[in-house]
Amino acid sequence: MKNQELVDYLMSCGVCKVCQLRYLRARGSEYNDIHKSLQRLGVKVTEDQVEDEDNVISTDEQPLKKPRLSHCSTCLGIFSEDFQRELIEGIIASEFGKYDSEGIVLAITMPMSLQLRQLSMWFALQRKFGSTVHSNSPPDVPIKEAVKLILHPIICKKLDKKYDANGLVISIDLRHKVEEEEVDKLVELNRAAFPGKALRRVEISRGLLEKQYQPSRVKAETFEKYLPIPPTAVDESLSLKSVDLQGPMVCVAGRYRKLSRELSHTPWLLQGVRQMEDSIEEIIIRSVGPHFTETVPKITFMSSGREDVDVRCLGKGRPFVLEIPNSRRSTLTREQALAMEQAVDTSGKVSILNLQVVPREQAMNIKTGEEQKRKYYRALCALKEPATLEMLQKLQISESFDIQQKTPIRVLHRRPLHTRPRTIYSVKARLQRDNPLVLVIDIVTQAGTYIKELVHGEFGRTTPSFSSIIGKPIDIQALDVVGIDLDWPPEVDNSVAE
Amino acid sequence: MAATADPLEPFYFEHEEQQRICGKPVSPITDGFDANYPSVVDRFFTRFYYIRANAAYQVLYHSNRICLICLAPTHPALAQGIASLSFDVGNVDRSQNVVKGKAKKGGMILQADSTLALLTTETGQIYKIPSCIRGKLVEVNAALVAEPKLLEHLPEGAGYFAILLPKIENCDLIRESLLTQEQYEEHLKTNQEQNTEHLKTSTEQKEENLKTNEEMLIT
- ipTM, interface predicted TM-score of the complex: 0.86
* Residue B196 to chain A, least CA–CA distance (Å): 33
* Chain B residue closest in CA terms to A478: B32
The domain tally of chain B equals: 1
Do A158 and A197 reside in the same domain of the chain? yes
Question: Considering only CA atoms, which of A468, A475, A479 is closest in space to residue B38?
Answer: A475
Which CATH number characterizes residue A440's domain? Answer: 3.30.70.3190
Q: Is residue B207 part of a domain?
A: no
Q: Indicate left, alpha or beta for B100 from its phi (over 0: left) and psi (-120 to 50: alpha).
A: beta
Q: Is residue A476 part of a domain?
A: yes
Q: What's the confidence (pLDDT) of residue A406?
A: 97
Q: What is the mean pLDDT of residues A91-115?
A: 91
Which CATH number characterizes residue A349's domain? Answer: 3.30.70.2510
Q: Is residue A429 part of a domain?
A: yes
**Chain B residues touching A312 at Cβ < 8 A:** 26
The domain tally of chain A equals: 3
**Strand order, beta sheet including B55-62:** B109-110, B135-140, B162-165, B67-71, B55-62, B45-52, B179-180
Q: Is residue A16 part of a domain?
A: no
Question: Considering only CA atoms, which of B50, B43, B146 is closest in space to residue A460?
Answer: B146
Do A105 and A123 reside in the same domain of the chain? yes
Domain boundary among A246, A266, A288: A246
Domain boundary among A190, A222, A246: A246
The DSSP 8-state label assigned to residue A404 in this structure reads E
**Chain B residues touching A350 at Cβ < 8 A:** 22
Q: Express each pLDDT in A384-400 by its tens digit.
A: 999 999 999 999 999 99
> Across A247-310, where does the E strand assignment appear?
250-258, 269-270, 273-274, 300-303
Do A355 and A447 reside in the same domain of the chain? no
Query: Do residues A150 and A215 lie in contact, with contact meaning Cβ atoms separated by under 8 Å?
Result: no
Domain boundary among A367, A384, A399: A367
Q: What is the mean pLDDT of residues A75-95?
A: 91
Q: Is residue B25 part of a domain?
A: no
In angstroms, the CA A21 to CA A16 distance is 9
In angstroms, the CA A111 to CA A77 distance is 12
For the ranges A116-130, A341-355, B134-148, which has the lowest average pLDDT?
Answer: A116-130
Q: Is the pLDDT of residue A202 over 50?
A: yes
A409/B100 Cβ within 8 A? no
Instruction: Say yes or no: A309 contacts chain B, CB-CB below 8 A.
Output: no
Q: Is residue A236 part of a domain?
A: yes
Do A314 and A204 reside in the same domain of the chain? no
Do A267 and A387 reside in the same domain of the chain? no
Mutate which: B15, B26, B30, vs A, most A CBs within 10 A: B30
Q: What's the confidence (pLDDT) of residue B199?
A: 54
pLDDT band, very low/low/confident/very high, at A423 (cuts 50, 70, 90): very high
Instruction: Say yes or no: B139 contacts chain A, CB-CB below 8 A.
Output: yes
Do A126 and A199 reside in the same domain of the chain? yes
Phi, psi of A156 (to 5 degrees): -55, -45
Q: What is the mean pLDDT of residues A319-348?
A: 95
* Residue B205 to chain A, least CA–CA distance (Å): 32
Q: Residue A80: helix, strand or coil by DSSP?
A: coil
* Chain B residue closest in CA terms to A419: B139
In angstroms, the CA B15 to CA A472 distance is 26
Instruction: Say yes or no: A310 contacts chain B, CB-CB below 8 A.
Output: no
B158/A412 Cβ within 8 A? no
Do A108 and A205 reside in the same domain of the chain? yes
Q: Is residue B202 part of a domain?
A: no
Phi, psi of B20 (to 5 degrees): -115, 130
Type of residue at B107: G
Q: Is residue A31 part of a domain?
A: no
Q: Is residue B29 part of a domain?
A: no
* Chain B residue closest in CA terms to A384: B35
* Chain A residue closest in CA terms to B17: A315
Instruction: Say yes or no: A453 contacts chain B, CB-CB below 8 A.
Output: no
Q: What's the confidence (pLDDT) of residue A1?
A: 62
Q: Is residue A392 part of a domain?
A: yes
Q: What's the burial of B25, exposed, middle or buried (CB within 10 Å: 0-12/13-18/19+)? A: exposed
Query: Do residues A260 and A133 lie in contact, with contact meaning Cβ atoms separated by under 8 Å?
Result: no
**Chain A residues touching B29 at Cβ < 8 A:** 378-380, 440, 478, 480
Q: Residue B177 is part of which domain span?
A: 40-187
Mean pLDDT by 10 residues, chain B (219 residues): 76 85 93 95 97 95 97 96 96 95 95 96 96 97 95 95 97 96 93 61 50 42
B8/A440 Cβ within 8 A? no
* Chain B residue closest in CA terms to A477: B33
Q: Residue A359: helix, strand or coil by DSSP?
A: coil
In angstroms, the CA B218 to CA B180 distance is 27
Instruction: Say yes or no: A401 contacts chain B, CB-CB below 8 A.
Output: no
Q: Is residue B147 part of a domain?
A: yes
Q: What's the confidence (pLDDT) of residue A60?
A: 47
In angstroms, the CA A91 to CA A97 distance is 9
Strand-pair category, A350-358 with A250-258 = antiparallel
Among residues A54, A173, A308, A442, the one annotated as catalytic is A308
The mean pLDDT of chain A is 89
Query: Do residues A353 and A314 lie in contact, with contact meaning Cβ atoms separated by under 8 Å?
Result: no
Q: Is the pLDDT of residue A314 over 90?
A: yes
**Chain A residues touching B22 at Cβ < 8 A:** 259, 345-351
DSSP B54-110: TEEEEEEEETTS-EEEEE-TT-HHHHH-EEEEESB-SS-BGGG---BTTTTBTPPEE
H or E stretch at A412? helix A409-412
For the ranges A148-152, A189-193, A473-477, B201-205, which has the lowest average pLDDT?
Answer: B201-205
A432/B30 Cβ within 8 A? yes
Q: Residue A453 is part of which domain span?
A: 374-484
Q: Residue A71: helix, strand or coil by DSSP?
A: strand
Active site residue A82: no
Mutate which: A415, A440, A451, A477, vs B, most B CBs within 10 A: A440
B8/A389 Cβ within 8 A? yes
Do A91 and A223 reside in the same domain of the chain? yes
Do A361 and A341 reside in the same domain of the chain? yes
**Chain B residues touching A435 at Cβ < 8 A:** 33
Q: Is residue A496 part of a domain?
A: no
Q: Is residue B122 part of a domain?
A: yes
Q: Is residue A12 part of a domain?
A: no
In angstroms, the CA A395 to CA A193 distance is 85
Q: Is the pLDDT of residue A66 over 70?
A: no
Q: Residue B78: helix, strand or coil by DSSP?
A: helix
**Chain A residues touching B8 at Cβ < 8 A:** 387, 389, 392, 431
Q: What's the confidence (pLDDT) of residue B83?
A: 96
In angstroms, the CA A254 to CA A195 distance is 61
Do A362 and A380 reside in the same domain of the chain? no
Do A222 and A273 reside in the same domain of the chain? no
Q: Is residue B197 part of a domain?
A: no
Which CATH number characterizes residue B106's domain? Answer: 2.40.50.100
Q: Is residue B23 part of a domain?
A: no
Any idea what the Cα angle at residue A210 is, between residues A83 and A224, rounded to 5°? 85
